[in-house]
């Protein structure tokens, strides 16, 4: 029985993970961590991970970048694998993640859904074939409570496309400040916020008289929760290192 500590347990994603784990008989949530007490789940909720003194096999995190330092300290000290699903990490946080992955298995993905992972592969393939002839733009849409913009998935998509292109692109977030034609090597990244949209991503390849759009739409938070739970099963017992959806799908 896999013992999970769930960070951000009282948030939207934390509650989705709680529902998914409740349907599994090979795992249970032994403790939650959250700075809010708005929800009272069936397991104990602490304001910091070190307050939980029982055994934990894996930590699953859907919270806020501010939670990262303590989570990594907890996991490195007790040698516990961690699944990081939170988005919006800055460069300092990213360096901390790489450092922690030398001590424990760390699974990180800005998008835990299988379909979105495939979207990344397809977009990279399209960029390799069409790059230089087609303009590339990324559009993401999320609910009106989302804190970070553009989404972590849009940033990962940009990076995957940039790696596949035959030239060095640069991201373009704002075209209001300069009256100028689009440069061939810019990739527009657009963030739409509204209503209850769970998460949509379009990658547009616009060529001469033809447009290829590759899209992924998540219709419920459960798709991400299921992915994170699978990631937890995947990293338990692995060697220290940084893992992601590519390794999970490859397995």
Ligand X SMILES: NC(=O)c1ccc[n+]([C@@H]2O[C@H](COP(=O)([O-])OP(=O)(O)OC[C@H]3O[C@@H](n4cnc5c(N)ncnc54)[C@H](O)[C@@H]3O)[C@@H](O)[C@H]2O)c1
Q: Which residues would be at the binding site for ligand X (CB under 6 A)?
A: 7-8, 10-14, 33-36, 62-64, 66-67, 85-88, 109-112, 224
Q: Which residues pair with 83 in a beta bridge?
A: 60, 107
Q: How far is the CB of 229 from ligand X (least distance, A)?
A: 12
Token output for 187: 């990739």
Instruction: Identify the active-site residue in 52, 142, 190, 216.
Output: 142
Element housing 91 (H / E) = helix 91-100
Nearer to ligand X, 56 or 110 (CB): 110
Asked if 187 and 155 count as a contact pair (C-beta separation under 8 A), the reply is: no
- The catalytic residue among 3, 70, 146, 238 is 146
Token reading at 42: 């069936």
142 is catalytic: yes
Report in angstroms how near the CB of residue 34 gets to ligand X at its nearest: 4
Q: Are strands 2-7 and 27-33 parallel, antiparallel or unpaired?
A: parallel
Nearest to ligand X of 14, 105 (CB atom): 14
Active-site annotation holds for 3: no
> Could you tell me the two tokens for 209?
């008289």
Our CB check for ligand X shows the closer of 13 and 82 to be 13
CA–CA dist 58, 27 (Å, integer): 10
132 conformational bin, left if phi > 0, alpha if psi -120 to 50, beta if neither: left
* Inter-residue contact 207 to 218 (CB < 8 Å): no
CA distance 81 to 103: 9
Closest CB to ligand X among residues 18, 109: 109
The distance of closest approach from Cβ of residue 23 to ligand X in the complex, given in angstroms and rounded to an integer, is 19
In the complex, the smallest distance separating the C-beta of residue 16 from ligand X, rounded to whole angstroms, is: 8
Provide the annotated active-site residues: 142, 146
């Amino acid at each position: 029985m896999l013992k999970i500590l769930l960070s951000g347990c009282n948030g939207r994603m934390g509650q989705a993970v709680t529902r998914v784990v409740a349907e599994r008989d090979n795992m249970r949530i032994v403790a939650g961590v959250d700075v809010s007490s708005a929800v009272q789940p069936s397991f104990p909720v602490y304001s910091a991970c070190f307050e939980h003194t029982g055994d934990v096999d894996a930590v699953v995190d859907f919270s806020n970048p501010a939670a990262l330092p303590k989570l990594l300290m907890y996991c490195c000290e007790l040698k516990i694998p961690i699944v990081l699903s939170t988005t919006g990490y800055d460069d300092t946080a990213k360096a901390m993640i790489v450092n922690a992955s030398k001590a424990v298995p760390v699974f990180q993905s800005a998008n835990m859904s299988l379909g979105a992972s495939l979207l990344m592969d397809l977009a990279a393939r399209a960029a390799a074939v069409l790059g230089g002839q087609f303009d590339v733009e990324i559009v993401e849409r999320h609910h009106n409570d989302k804190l970070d913009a553009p989404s972590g998935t849009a940033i990962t998509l940009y990076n995957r496309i940039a790696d596949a292109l035959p030239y060095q692109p640069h991201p373009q977030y704002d075209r209001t400040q300069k009256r100028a034609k689009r440069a061939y090597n810019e990739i527009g990244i657009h963030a739409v916020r509204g209503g209850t949209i769970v998460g949509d991503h379009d990658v547009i390849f616009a060529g001469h008289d033809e447009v290829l759009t590759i899209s992924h739409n998540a219709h419920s938070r459960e798709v991400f929760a299921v992915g994170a739970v699978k990631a937890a099963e995947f990293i338990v017992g692995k060697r220290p290192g940084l893992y992601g959806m590519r390794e999970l799908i490859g397995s």
